[in-house]
Chains A and B, each alone.
Chain A
Amino acid sequence: MEHDIRDLFRENNDANIEIPKNHRAEFLDKLKYQHKKQNGFQRKSMFKIAASIAIILVCSVYYFYVNNQVEKTPLQIQVAAIEKEYLINIDKEWEQFIEVAEDSVLVNKYKIKMHDFDKDYQKITKELQKSPNNIYMLEALINNLQRRLELIKNIKEHIKELNQKNTSNETIYL
């Protein structure tokens, strides 16, 4: 069964077929098309991976957010209610004070005071976040609100007293 390799070439007609003139251009087109197809596939898979990562990220963030939202203790709920009540009252008193006060210097001074109280209030709130059930800090917080409320009430009443009608310009001698 020995073969002469030259006989094999002689028998193969394919070697004698002429290559078409546009063969090179056709080959290059096919190559380009193949490349495009491959790129599209890569982009699609990249997009899928990115979407999966995004979904995983969103789910994990949501999971951690939900789990980290520690339920408020009854004490915290009570304090929040007290805080809300005070802040509403402070706002109400402030509005009434502005209505009766004609002295802009006085109003500005009290604005600054309220701002100072608020700065202190923010500090206490920060501390309170660290230890939410600490009664000393809760007391400090309520004291701050209480002092603010009293201060505005007092000045409002003071102005109302000044505005009463019985006036005189005669000196009183004792």
Chain B
Amino acid sequence: MKPYIYSILFFLSIQISVAQTKEVILKKSYKVDENTIFELDLDNVAIVFEESFDDKIHFNYYMEFINYSDRKIKDLLGEVNVKVDRNNNNLKLGVKNSMLIGVNRKTLFSMDSLKSAIKESMIFYRNRKFLYKSKDSLLKQIRTSVGNDLQDYLFKNKKKYENEEFIKNQKKIKKTFIIKLPNYIRMNFKVLHSDITFNYDIKERVIFNSFRTRLKFKKLISRENKFQLINGFLYTEEIAGGFYKLKGVHPFRVGSISNSIIDLETSKMEVGEIKKNTSIKDFSSKVLFYNFNEDFKNFSFEGDYSKIYLYKVKKANYTMDVFGYNTVLKMDNNTTTFGDSKDKKLTKILQKKQKEHIKPSGNVAIELKNGIINLID
């Protein structure tokens, strides 16, 4: 009986080893201190950052190939380029992968189902009403989101669109790259078409330049942060300082924001709560401000071809001045256009005065050219 069982086990082990192969790409640790600068030059890679508590940066990068032949695995590994350089107290990670071997996506759909899902999601998002969200509900959305609006839609409706036969026939590569590092490390990022997730609050300054990258952070605390993002999306639970230039970032969801300067262009921004001293400049974005903090002091917004949504304005305890030209105000089911586009002079469209005997929580100053402002109760 025994040899029989052994032969079955042996046979199964061969089957499993053929079906799934794990390849370690990088497994190294480096001692660091508070003066270490970590530079990352990334192209087509998905990385999860976690906090370490032993004054070391740990790299752990591996891939699991399912249903691939050894030869194909060898070919694919040829498309992975990773190197780590240490120069004085600078640690540099360079990753340059092909798109094929780069980021992880959940493949649940055939091309047919993906096509209909895209069309239906577009109709869904076009017809939705921009309803009020509390800060907590937006935070929940940020934490549970799996990707951009389309990916969230696909994930929520996967039973409708997933195609089992297609899934069965797909070969898979599971890519795992985890970097553990102390929270005092300063980082410079240059990123292209990648997925970056931080599972801890970043206290030190981060310089971030990215193109078509998906970013998910907890808290961004430093006032010295400098972000320049083109395309992709940005989810963060809190921004507590810094300068952020976002172009085509769709969506940019932030739980709360303070002490920051935001420069937007053709993006979609949702803010759970506006806190102290924030200013935003925009060209042609859709911006939703759900709540204002009880002591936000000042908030300013300057926009050209912007579309703004403000909620519960009448009940709110802040003062507000809206100036603009060629701007549409939508309120109480009425739509009115203010100012002439020819003379391009700003006129006062709306003023919200201080409530009697109540100290205002702050002042909102809005300047809109060719804009649309929606006041929703």
Contacts and interface: CB of A to CB of B under 8 A. Distances in A.
Interface size class of B (residues with CB under 8 A): 35 or more
A69 interface: no
A106 B305 contact: yes
Contacts of B150: 143, 146
B8 interface: no
B223 interface: no
Interface stretch (B16-24, B59-67, B104-112, B290-298): B104-112
B350 A113 contact: no
Given A103-B370, A136-B105, A169-B347, A158 B307 contact: yes
Nearest to B314: A174
Interface stretch (B86-94, B132-140, B180-188, B334-342): B334-342
Contacts of B197: none
Interface in B307-358: 307, 313-314, 320, 326-329, 331, 334-339, 341, 347-353
Contact of B353 (A151, A166, A174): A174
21 contacts: A75-B111, A78-B112, A78-B115, A103-B370, A106-B305, A106-B370, A109-B283, A113-B248, A120-B212, A135-B111, A137-B99, A140-B99, A146-B150, A158-B307, A162-B326, A162-B337, A162-B341, A167-B337, A172-B329, A174-B350, A174-B353
B253 interface: no
Contact of A167 (B114, B305, B338): B338
Contacts of A171: 347-351
Contacts, number: 114
A91 interface: no
Given A82-B115, A120-B212, A171-B348, A139 B105 contact: yes
A26 B334 CA distance: 115
A81 to B, nearest CB: 9
Contacts of A75: 111
B328 A162 contact: yes
B111 A134 contact: no
Please report whether the interface of chain A is mostly helix, strand, loop or mixed according to DSSP. helix
Given A147-B248, A161-B372, 17 more contacts: A78-B112, A78-B115, A79-B111, A82-B115, A120-B212, A134-B99, A136-B105, A146-B122, A150-B122, A162-B370, A162-B372, A164-B335, A168-B338, A169-B347, A171-B349, A172-B329, A174-B351
A140 B212 CA distance: 10
Contacts of B266: 113, 151
Contact of A158 (B103, B118, B212, B372): B372
B341 to A, nearest CB: 8
Interface residues of A, number: 42
B337 A139 contact: no
Contacts of A39: none
Given A131-B100, A150-B122, A158-B305, A138 B111 contact: yes
Contacts of B122: 146, 150
Given A127-B98, A147-B248, A173-B351, A154 B336 contact: no
B301 to A, nearest CB: 17
Contacts of A168: 336-338
Closest 5 CB pairs of A and B: A174-B352, A171-B348, A167-B337, A172-B350, A78-B111
